[in-house]
Amino acid sequence: MESDWLDLKSKLNTIFYTLAQTIDEFDISFKPEIRVADPRFGDFQVNGVLGFAKKNKKNPHELGEKLLGEAKKSEALSSFSLELSGPGFINIRLAPKFLQQWVSHFCERCDFNQWLSGKTIVVDYSSPNTAKQMHVGHLRSMIIGESIQRILRFCGANVIRDNHIGDWGTQFGILTMAIKRAKVNIFTINSSMALDEFERLYKEGVNLTKQDENCLQEARKELVALQKGDPENLKIWETINTTSYRAFKEIYKQMDVTFDYVLGESFYRDKLDSVYNELKSLGIAEEDQGALVVFHREHERFGDQPFLIRKSDGASNYATTDLATVLYRHDSFHANEIIYVTDGRQQDHFQQLFLTVERWFGAKNIDLPELKHVWFGTILGEDGRAIKTRSGESIKLKQLIDESMVRALAIVTEKNPDLSQNEQQEIACVVGIGAIKYADLSQNRTNDYVFSWNKMLSFEGSTAPYLLYAVARIHALFRKLENTTNEGNQSRSMAALSTAEEVSLARKLVDFPSIIMQVLDDLRPHYLCTYLFELASEFSSFYNANRIIGEGRDVLEKRLLLCRFTLYVLETGLHLLGIETLEKM
Ligand code: ARG
């Protein structure tokens, strides 16, 4: 089997396109679309004839007949059964023999490296603001971004992981004002306490600015002083940032998230003036009531709501930094694509940013990287509102992670009382973190979802524990085999796929590449979650109904092949979601 059969859907697409070109009634505008079919009628369905026929005022049924006729003659399709259905649709059923060839050929060799090779993609994710601890609101960008970057890398992209932390905002004016007023020596506080202390001071600062106009002015002055390079303010700022990032790093370590760069907002502070100047001289930005703004007059919503890139007091903002950041990523990283992973409330910001960059790069006549905003919804509490602690504060990420591991440990200890404490701990760690990640990734990212410990830690349904258990079960099988039989090592001959469970498991395995394609198209990891869950369920039916050992060597050989491939896909898939797997559970 040739390696281009790996993604069966794309392969079929190419075949049907090529076939159609040999038929007079078709032309290059014909776009076959291969869909997964209703299993009662086949495995795939070729769509597109109807649309083409309508557009060209032809009879879809006749065109379908012609295409089917060519398809039936085609060598490449000889092991498929094909039939016409409805106005021009062609149903395709894969023969067990084909499935077996495919599985044997690609087992543990699904190489998607070609798909995105040569492409440089910056993924901007996590990106929390400093001076505060990470809370539950920071979970999704980290989890979704990590999974997306892993998938892009797996498909051969040169991925640059950039943590664009918010380390240069107004929070520093307020915080510095509060620190100076309270006369706290922040350079000597114990670092584990420091973040709590900063948060307390920040809240105090916010209250002060609300109650007292003088404090507000002071906070503004401190910010301007910092931005101008005042040594004392710089030192305070630096201390806050190092302390914050140290705390972030602990969480990244637990969550197995790593970055290539941490180029926060402050990194761009000396690159902002040239942004103003260029945008002004290119006639893209204009002065408006003392501020510098970009109008997108043609846009229905932004027509009278300009993109503010310099405030009237001369201060830069989030937009300015983001403009400078795109340019930097273009110039220094040669990015072909930039992906931003943030919550849905920033949609307007990114739309305006992208529109502005489009005009700016167009005017400069430089390549525009593809810009994508991968946004997500909110995590809700069981009451259906944004998740909070009982006292109404945001839940600290550290606490959430710790709680997950404690809960997982209780479950693991109950299920496996005989394991050593160390082993139980280790499993609990993987299950606890995996559960949080999977619960998030298994939801369509643009939806809100309800955070539920019971659901995410359940061993039933589409959850991390269920999938991790499926993986461990296959490993256990291989261990047992090593110990009890040597059947596996000797035989090379393999029986043909025959039982219904074998065939439908093989059928599921064939979908793996096209699922990865689908995730790439939409940057939505939940497709992969759904698929892995369905695969694990197929496997479970197969395993319950088909004996692996004791049916003879050739049967053992084919069933082990299915086990190996399933294990490979489950482990690969979970790693692409950022989830560690276990051999024993
Ligand atoms: N710091 C921002 C926040 O906490 C997210 C930054 C996202 N990245 C960007 N380039 N704007 O919401």
* Domains of the chain, each with CATH number or no CATH: 3-94 (3.30.1360.70), 120-376 (3.40.50.620), 397-576 (1.10.730.10)
Identify which has the larger pLDDT, 110 or 150: 150
393 CB burial (10 A radius; 0-12, 13-18, 19+) = exposed
Helices of type H across 388-499: 397-415, 421-441, 453-456, 464-484, 487-490
Identify which has the larger pLDDT, 507 or 393: 507
pLDDT single digits (tens) 244-268: 999 999 999 999 999 999 999 999 9
CB 199 within 8 A of CB 247: no
Cβ-proximal residues to 2 (8 Å cutoff; 6+ apart), any chain: none
> Residue 100: which of 449, 403, 498 has the closest Cα?
498
Which of the listed residues 123, 124, 127, 328 should we mutate to test ligand 1's pocket, taking the one with most ligand atoms within 8 A of CB? Answer: 127
pLDDT at 2: 87
The pLDDT confidence band at residue 490, using thresholds 50, 70 and 90, is: low
Name the strands in the sheet holding 307-310, side by side, starting at the edge strand that comes first in the sequence.
286-288, 291-294, 307-310
pLDDT single digits (tens) 301-316: 998 899 999 999 888 8
- Report how far ligand 1's centroid is from the alpha carbon of 143 (Å): 15
CB 525 within 8 A of CB 151: yes
pTM check: above 0.85: yes
Identify which has the larger pLDDT, 577 or 132: 577
pLDDT at 331: 98
Which of the listed residues 342, 345, 350 should we mutate to test ligand 1's pocket, taking the one with most ligand atoms within 8 A of CB? Answer: 342
50 CB burial (10 A radius; 0-12, 13-18, 19+) = middle
- Residue 240 to residue 169: CA distance in whole angstroms: 13
Looking at the CA of residue 322, tell me the nearest atom of ligand 1: 10
- Residue 52 to residue 26: CA distance in whole angstroms: 8
Instruction: Determine the residue type at 475.
Output: H
Q: At residue 490, what are phi and psi to the nearest 5 degrees?
A: -95, -50
- Residue 160 to residue 120: CA distance in whole angstroms: 7
CB 65 within 8 A of CB 84: yes
3-state class of 25 per DSSP? coil
Q: Which residues line ligand 1 (CB under 6 A)?
A: 124, 127-129, 164, 166, 322, 325, 340, 342
The pLDDT confidence band at residue 392, using thresholds 50, 70 and 90, is: confident
pLDDT at 319: 96
pLDDT at 109: 85
Taking 60 as the threshold, does the pLDDT of residue 489 lie above it? no
Taking 90 as the threshold, does the pLDDT of residue 482 lie above it? no
* Cα R_g (the chain), whole angstroms: 28
pLDDT at 246: 93
- Report how far ligand 1's centroid is from the alpha carbon of 126 (Å): 8
Looking at the CA of residue 341, tell me the nearest atom of ligand 1: 7
- Report how far ligand 1's centroid is from the alpha carbon of 452 (Å): 27
Mean pLDDT calculated for residue range 384-402: 90
- Residue 564 to residue 275: CA distance in whole angstroms: 54
Which of 33-47, 425-439, 547-561 has maximum average pLDDT?
A: 425-439
The pLDDT confidence band at residue 485, using thresholds 50, 70 and 90, is: low
- Report how far ligand 1's centroid is from the alpha carbon of 188 (Å): 30
Q: At residue 32, what are phi and psi to the nearest 5 degrees?
A: -70, 140
pLDDT at 390: 82
pLDDT at 486: 56
Mean pLDDT calculated for residue range 76-92: 94
- Report how far ligand 1's centroid is from the alpha carbon of 342 (Å): 7
Give the chain's mean pLDDT: 94
Looking at the CA of residue 349, tell me the nearest atom of ligand 1: 11
Mean pLDDT calculated for residue range 90-111: 93
Q: At residue 342, what are phi and psi to the nearest 5 degrees?
A: -145, 175
Instruction: For tokens 């990891």, name the residue.
Output: 525
pLDDT at 492: 67
Mean pLDDT calculated for residue range 44-73: 96
